[in-house]
Amino acid sequence: MRTVLRRLVAAAASVAVAVFALGAAAAAEDAPFRRGVSLQAFTFPAVVGGGYAAQAYPGADATAVRFAVAGLRGLGLDHVRLPVDIGPLLRDDPAGRRRRALLDAVRPLIGRLHADGLGVIVTLVAPGLGGAIPEAWLDGPDGPRFLRYATIAETLAAALDDLGGAPLALEPMNEPQRACRRTDGPDWAVHQPILLARLRAAAPRLWLGVTGGCWSKVEGLDSVDAALLRDPRTFLSVHFYDPFLFTHQGTDWALDIMPLVTGLSYPPRAEQVPEALAAARDKAGRAAWPEGVRRERLARAEASLRHYLTTDPRPALRETFADLRRRASGLEIAAGRIVVTEFGATRTPDRDASRARWLQEVSGMISAEGWGWTLWVLREGPFGLDRPDGRLDRSLLQALGLRAPNGSFP
């Protein structure tokens, strides 16, 4: 089995390099994605009774109104990232009705963004319905689930390639796997060359994103083959959420201890330890967990809180970016073709002063390296920059080096 896999991967890599060589004569240019934001317009398809609704995706007009896309360029942004959960296309869509509905919504929105002078990164999201994770679709080069996913991705790539115009990119799978290298199944490194080769053959003009495992963190780049980046219209896509305890405090979908972690400042302050521990104990006491689970999670949360609040995280942040710089050099990719396609932090209790400091430091470090960045996210949920009244927070925009909107922009 391993010999077969190696031959399939080698064949896919050969096809990829051959296809990529068609454009290799032209000098590689910087990726045209310097400062952007993600919009969750198609990230969460409508669900009814545990399955996808017949009308799973919103229309382009509704999305444009919801996110006030007409004013984004005025903030100083040059691109928008659209994560698209393609679950409804992978389930029960024999006539392609949902695919057509999605394209009927996405294509006009991209056209509107292009007309406003904004590039677009479309990121395909493997469905998470019922708690599924992306690697469930990575069942090997000839696995039925992967082949289904690759066929849908290829079809969408061809449809997007027809748009032309302003910069347009496609990322074949968002955060493809948990491990940097899988030991419980075929690795992302087996599947990525195949996907990229199929996408490039279907879409010769699109920019294509290349990423690694470990939820697309810097450490996951170990599995990326430099040959995939020889195509001059590829970019390296990385996600950054460090220190995780700060960026994801209070969330209930990440680590199991995160609901116990709240009220953290940035930079951390040791005098917060008693208050943070008391809050964690109170939340653990009210959680509907078995007693043994409660004690174990609380113990881990307390240890994590003590470490965060008594350790300066900034040297580790700088080292992570230095590590990315070293890895990029090994992959022979220029700084201008690296995009941190996700970074962000949840709202903080000090009127977002801590979040503003983190956003300013991290976006500044990224820009200083010559890399692009895409904030997660502009609006909605704990990561959004919108205030309770729906308007964008001027202090957070300014922390990112963006222009604060005038009074007429929501």
Task: Verify that 212 and 273 share a domain, yes or no.
Answer: no
Task: Verify that 12 and 93 share a domain, yes or no.
Answer: yes
**How many structural domains is the chain composed of?**
2
Q: Is 354 exposed, middle or buried (0-12, 13-18, 19+ CB in 10 A)?
A: buried
Task: Verify that 301 and 270 share a domain, yes or no.
Answer: yes
Residue 410 lies in a domain: no
Give the whole-angstrom CA distance, residue 274 versus residue 282. 12
Q: Is the pLDDT of residue 13 over 60?
A: no
Task: Verify that 111 and 163 share a domain, yes or no.
Answer: yes
Give the whole-angstrom CA distance, residue 150 versus residue 141. 10
For the record, the structure tokens of 246 come out as 């700060």
Looking up residue 225, the CATH number of its domain turns out to be 3.20.20.80
What angle (nearest 5°) sits at the alpha carbon of residue 99, between those of residues 166 and 112?
Answer: 25
Structure confidence by residue, pLDDT tens digits, 173-193:
999 999 999 999 999 999 999
Give the whole-angstrom CA distance, residue 343 versus residue 355. 12
Q: Is the pLDDT of residue 17 over 60?
A: no
Q: What is the pLDDT of residue 236?
A: 98
Q: What is the pLDDT of residue 3?
A: 41
Structure confidence by residue, pLDDT tens digits, 44-81:
999 998 889 988 998 888 888 888 898 999 999 999 99
Q: What is the pLDDT of residue 407?
A: 56
Task: Verify that 83 and 159 share a domain, yes or no.
Answer: yes
Q: What is the pLDDT of residue 330?
A: 97
Q: Is the pLDDT of residue 9 over 70?
A: no
Residue 406 lies in a domain: no
Predicted confidence band at 2 (pLDDT cuts at 50, 70, 90)?
Answer: very low
Give the whole-angstrom CA distance, residue 363 versus residue 375. 9
Look up the domain containing 66 and give its range. Answer: 2-20+32-242+334-399
For the record, the structure tokens of 72 come out as 């984004």
Cross-strand partners of 125:
85
Structure confidence by residue, pLDDT tens digits, 226-264:
999 999 999 999 999 999 999 999 999 889 999 999 999
Return the percentage of the chain with pLDDT > 70, whole number.
92
Residue 124 lies in a domain: yes
Give the whole-angstrom CA distance, residue 58 versus residue 60. 7
